Amino acid sequence: MNALVALCHFCELHGPRTLFCTEALHPPSPDPSSQAGAPVPGDRDRDGDREGEGLTMRANSSATQRGEMCEGCRSLPASHPGFVSIDDETGIRFLSHQHPRQPQLFSVVRQACVRSLSCEVCPGREGPIFFGDEQHGFVFSHTFFIKDSLARGFQRWYSIVMVAMDRIYLINSWPFLLRHLRLTIQSLQSTALKVFDSEQGVCPQRAVRMNSVFSPAVFPHQRSGNAARSLTSLTQHPSLWASLHSSFSWLLKACGSRLTEKLLEGAPTEDTLVLIERQTEQEEEMSCWEGAEGGGAKSQRHQSESGLGLDFLCEDAKLDELPGPKFRSLRHLRQVLGAADFRQLAWHVLMGNQVIWRGADPGLIQSAFTVLKSLLPVGCVRSVPYSAQYEEAYKCNFLGLSPDVPIPAHVSSSEFSVLVDVVLDRSCQAPAGGEDDIGSLYQLSISSANTQPTDRGPTLLNKLEVALSNENLSVDVVSHCLLCLKEEWMNKVKVLFKFSKVDGRGREDTQKVLALLGATGPSEEDNVRLLKYWMTGLSKTYKSHLMTAVRGGERSPSQ
């Protein structure tokens, strides 16, 4: 990630100052000419710089500025070479010193420091804020106070800033940066608070100041000359700067690797949009939980909600990690259940009914859910992989239960649910592991109160069964076939949503659109039910885009 992190401080004598800065130096290009001229982080004698002072001298060429360095403005001594960490995977070097090694970056960081501690202030003066422009870069800043028994108001003002030229990347990283910078800030504040309490216990400064004659001109000297105390003195942390170097280096590496660019052919799919929205919601909720009080309550709430909805997808890699026998694909599930039972189960999934699996093997049930989830858009999936109690259908449409959990009467008698009981066949002693062991190890029985025939439709299921029954098609080909079918019907969902929900057309016009979409015929009832259910899986981004476009179209004639 092309960014740098800096710790800034508002000095009572000299104003905003940069204390510590960590930047990432990417490895040189493989071109020999560029390698010859590439700067080496350890080369501090170049251009006649003195040993140990090269980084600061190049960035801060003014002798006057170097002279205006009090104890509170300085982090590392002039003779300190700084800190360097190397990422073995990428070859990136993370270099930390008081100032950036390049004069251009020094100016950018200096301006970010001044703005973060002066004009760009969030409500309460403590917390995150975002500012910047294309010329000087964009800044994520988090201001905070550190306790100091000798400071004005018994506290000093600091900020941690991340500077980058990519505005979108920095905004998308807001929840991640906020969560991890708060951990660093809380560690500094808690350490400084212990030092503050011990100093106040020895000599309470509030009483001393109340009994002394106050003079603004000599106020700094009235505190034994300690108007500018270093952060090391405030925290009594012997390896403070090395610790900050590790934290900032990890932050730059993790923030750069958590988001990657992908080449997309055309517009992103609805599944992609929903996944992005859910990831953003997760990060925002985690930030709120970590910032709230009452750790026990928030952890229990986080665990329960993550089990009810945040585990919406299980990758194939995770499927391979599950112990014991497991379903590998839709075709494998169809072979174990049989064609008739598989069609009944798939019909319930596509119609949006609650699918309940009850058994003693959580891995087998989770593998079944992973396979069945591929039939639906991501936005329609709400899964509880394994639970010790029944969860209502509005919370999840995929529910795994332990074998001793009873099914409520209103659920077992409902036509909007299907139950799959997985019972161990004790009469058979099958070898452990393997796909073919499921049919011999377990007896699977499907039950539902639904009386509607499932052999007519929907059309998507009819086409899918043709592909599954064709043994000449591999599992990968069938998966791509299902992906194309889902995209086709998701486009029909968008048309129907725009026509019926946004435009508010009548029933006759809607029927004409259904005929145009190819949703009429013998499977019309199931097709319409599928389309209406899949509307719930549309992303918030798409819905808001449609509503904005419609409102803009309504205003344009009057304008």
User: d(Cα 51, Cα 55) in Å, to the nearest integer?
Assistant: 9
Q: Where would I find the beta strands (DSSP E) of 305-447?
A: 354-358, 383-387, 398-401, 417-424, 442-447
∠ Cα 476 473 315 (to 5°): 20
* Residue whose C-alpha is closest to residue 38's, from 47, 49, 48, 27: 27
pLDDT tens digit string along 323-352?
A: 678 888 999 999 998 989 999 999 999 999
User: d(Cα 444, Cα 338) in Å, to the nearest integer?
Assistant: 10
pLDDT of residue 261: 67
Residue extent(s) of CATH 1.10.10.1730 domains in the chain: 475-552
Are 59 and 100 a contacting pair, CB within 8 Å? yes
**446 forms bridges with which residues in the sheet?**
420
Are 93 and 39 a contacting pair, CB within 8 Å? no
Q: Are strands 155-164 and 3-11 parallel, antiparallel or unpaired?
A: antiparallel
pLDDT of residue 259: 72
Are 165 and 175 a contacting pair, CB within 8 Å? no
The fourth-level CATH superfamily of domain 475-552 is Folliculin (1.10.10.1730)
Q: Where would I find the beta strands (DSSP E) of 294-441?
A: 354-358, 383-387, 398-401, 417-424
pLDDT of residue 11: 80
Q: What token pair was written down for 3?
A: 């960014």
pLDDT of residue 172: 85
User: d(Cα 355, Cα 349) in Å, to the nearest integer?
Assistant: 7
* Residue whose C-alpha is closest to residue 259's, from 176, 141, 139: 176
**142 forms bridges with which residues in the sheet?**
128, 160
* Residue whose C-alpha is closest to residue 452's, from 421, 420, 416: 416
User: d(Cα 140, Cα 180) in Å, to the nearest integer?
Assistant: 13
Residue extent(s) of CATH 3.40.50.12430 domains in the chain: 330-426+437-452
Q: Are strands 442-447 and 417-424 parallel, antiparallel or unpaired?
A: antiparallel
In angstroms, how far is the first alpha carbon of the chain from the final one?
Answer: 45
Q: Between the CA atoms of 375, 376, 377 and 381, what dihedral angle is there, to the nearest 10 degrees?
A: -130
Angstrom CA distances, 1 to 25, 55, 106, 264, stand at: 10, 22, 18, 21
Are 365 and 444 a contacting pair, CB within 8 Å? no
Fold of 330-426+437-452: Rossmann fold (3.40.50)
Residue type for 352, please?
G
pTM for the whole thing? 0.55
Mean pLDDT in order along the chain per 10 residues (559 residues) = 85 82 79 43 38 36 49 75 86 87 85 86 82 88 86 82 89 88 90 83 62 55 58 83 91 82 69 82 70 48 40 48 80 90 92 91 89 90 90 91 91 90 70 59 87 80 92 91 90 83 70 79 83 87 74 46
Residue-by-residue DSSP string for 185-230: HHHHHHHHHHHHHHHHHHS-HHHHHHTS---GGGTTGGGTT-SS--
The edge-to-edge listing of strands for the beta sheet with 417-424 is 383-387, 398-401, 354-358, 417-424, 442-447
pLDDT of residue 354: 92
